[in-house]
Amino acid sequence: MILSRTSQYAVQALIYMATQPSETPVLNKDIAAQLGVPAPYLAKILQSLAKGNLLFSFRGRLGGFCLREEGEKITLMQILLLTEGPAFTQSCLLGLKKCSDETACPLHFRWLPVKKKIIDLLQETTLEKLAKAVESGKYRLADVPGKLFEQVKV
């Protein structure tokens, strides 16, 4: 598995938030329900994203979470640096502590161009793009998405 479950939930949640009107805070409870993920776990993830300055959080009635920046500015890389840790981009395939151009594992120079592709993807993919994809109805954010964009307003 490339990403930890924590990272997967974080990305899913932020994409969902980017599909919602940005004026009113989104509830952890609602996000969890829409994605079908455990609410207590998601709450902890959202709190850490708020500490990482990616979200605003508001307590009390009418509280919830808001994206701190507009969706077009937030990249997947920003999210994953918070959830996977800052060493995320420098990790060695074989797990060596020190694996650089000078002291390299035998896979280092084969892995380098692929890693660059991954990093490029993560840096150029913004929440806005992903949110639009979901809003188009052609892509889904969760298994058995149920009524993510099929619900009728009452």
Partner DNA sequence: ACAATATAAAACAATCTTGTCCGAATATCC
Partner DNA sequence: GGATATTCGGACAAGATTGTTTTATATTGT
**Structure tokens given for 117:** 């592709």
Among 20, 36, 44, 68, binds DNA (CB under 7 A): 44
Spacing of C-alpha 8 from chain mean position: 6
* Residue 73, binding choice from a copy of itself, DNA, none, Cβ under 5 to 8 Å by partner class: none
Q: Which stretch binds DNA (CB under 7 A): 50-58, 100-108, 110-118, 123-131?
A: 50-58
Burial class (CB in 10 A: 0-12, 13-18, 19+), 59: exposed
- Kindly state the helix (H) or strand (E) to which residue 118 belongs, with its residue range: helix 108-124
Beta bridge partners of 84: none
Tally the C-alpha atoms within 13 A of residue 77's C-alpha that lie toward its C-beta: 15
Rule CB under 7 A: which residues touch DNA? 4-6, 9, 25, 27-29, 37-41, 43-44, 46-47, 50, 57-65
Rule CB under 8 A: which residues touch a copy of itself? 1-3, 5, 8, 11-12, 15, 84, 91, 93-98, 103-108, 110-111, 113-114, 117-118, 121, 125, 129-131, 133-134, 138-143
